[in-house]
Amino acid sequence: MLQRKVDTQRMQADARTIRENINRARGYLRRDDIYRCIEAANDALVLKSTSSTLGRGRSEVDLLLVEMCDEFSRHPRVVEFLQSIGVSRVPLLRYKAGDETLLIKRLMALRIKMEEVEQRAREREEKLQASQMAQWLQLGQANLEQKNFPKGKVYLRRVVETFGTEPDVIREVGRLFYEAGLHAEAAEMFALAIEQTPNDQVAWRMAIDTSEAMGEFKKAESLYLDALKIFGGHHLTYLNIAKFYLKWHRKDDAYDYAQRALDLDPELAEAKAIRDKLAG
């Protein structure tokens, strides 16, 4: 009696889990989430195929599986996809007790094929986008070189607006602005690049150079000090700050940073020259 009770409880639990998976699959299908629908349907079919008996719940489960397979096969996205790859089998899924393994294989094959098609589509789109970005960068640079600044800026800002989330793109646009002498635009781009990637040392260096080129020494100083907080002290960084302060005629600060550079590298000739010049 005890064993029979345990078997009955297990059959009821299996039937309940299968029904839950079917309901999940149909819910995902209604939301056009085909991949999750396939996962839930697969879970239901696998459990059905491994459950030797479901007792009185079998007939209900079989009916639900029939309905689920019919709904899946008639779903517009499924039909459209099958037609796009030249598959005319209708319906794709038709449930019959004992065919669970066959249906599982068809679902997995469909998923693999959908993923392959989507991957190829993504690759095509990436190539098109890369080509478009390269074209706009080239046109922007060409117009800047021809001193047609308004048109050049339009192309380069379009690059940032469209592709600015890709690595190094904003910094590259900033570099083109800088080389064209458009320092205000370059400073804007380098600030965006730093905001996007705070550990981009090249963007920090170019932002500092741009501020110096604009004569904005306070801004350059702020950038140097912020960079120190992020990257830490390095003898060459201290040397660059010393040279910067020397250019700004802040001799005490120049001396201080030259000494900091020498503390890390006593053989640094440029730092020695600055220190000795200011000590004299």
Which pLDDT does position 86 carry in this prediction?
Answer: 87
User: Is a pLDDT exceeding 90 seen at residue 1?
Assistant: no
Mean pLDDT, the chain, rounded, equals 91
Q: What is the mean pLDDT of residues 12-28?
A: 91
User: Is a pLDDT exceeding 70 seen at residue 231?
Assistant: yes
User: Is a pLDDT exceeding 60 seen at residue 2?
Assistant: no
Distances 6 to 11, 17, 81, 122, 151 between C-alpha atoms, Å: 9, 16, 45, 51, 79
Q: What is the mean pLDDT of residues 241-259?
A: 91
Query: In the chain, how long is the greatest CA-to-CA distance?
Result: 104
Which pLDDT does position 6 carry in this prediction?
Answer: 42
Distances 17 to 11, 127, 236, 257 between C-alpha atoms, Å: 10, 45, 65, 70
Q: Which tens digit of pLDDT belongs to each residue from 260-274?
A: 999 999 988 999 999
Residues contacting residue 145 through CB under 8 Å, at least 6 positions apart: 180
Q: How confident is the model at residue 14 (pLDDT cuts 50, 70, 90)?
A: confident
Q: Closest Cα partner for 232 from 211, 201, 259, 202?
A: 201
Whole-angstrom distance, CA of residue 256 vs CA of residue 250: 10
Q: Which tens digit of pLDDT belongs to each residue from 134-178?
A: 999 999 999 999 999 999 999 999 999 999 999 999 999 999 999
Which pLDDT does position 102 carry in this prediction?
Answer: 94
Q: Sign of the C-alpha dihedral, residues 177, 183, 187, 188?
A: negative
Q: Which tens digit of pLDDT belongs to each residue from 53-105?
A: 666 667 888 899 999 999 999 999 999 999 998 887 668 899 998 899 999 99
Whole-angstrom distance, CA of residue 168 vs CA of residue 181: 20
Q: What is the mean pLDDT of residues 188-194?
A: 97
User: Is a pLDDT exceeding 90 seen at residue 11?
Assistant: no
Which pLDDT does position 3 carry in this prediction?
Answer: 47
Q: Which tens digit of pLDDT belongs to each residue from 194-225?
A: 999 999 999 999 999 999 999 999 999 999 99
Residues contacting residue 213 through CB under 8 Å, at least 6 positions apart: 178, 183
User: Is a pLDDT exceeding 90 seen at residue 15?
Assistant: no
Which pLDDT does position 76 carry in this prediction?
Answer: 93
R_g of the chain, CA atoms, integer Å: 33
Whole-angstrom distance, CA of residue 37 vs CA of residue 250: 68
Whole-angstrom distance, CA of residue 238 vs CA of residue 244: 10
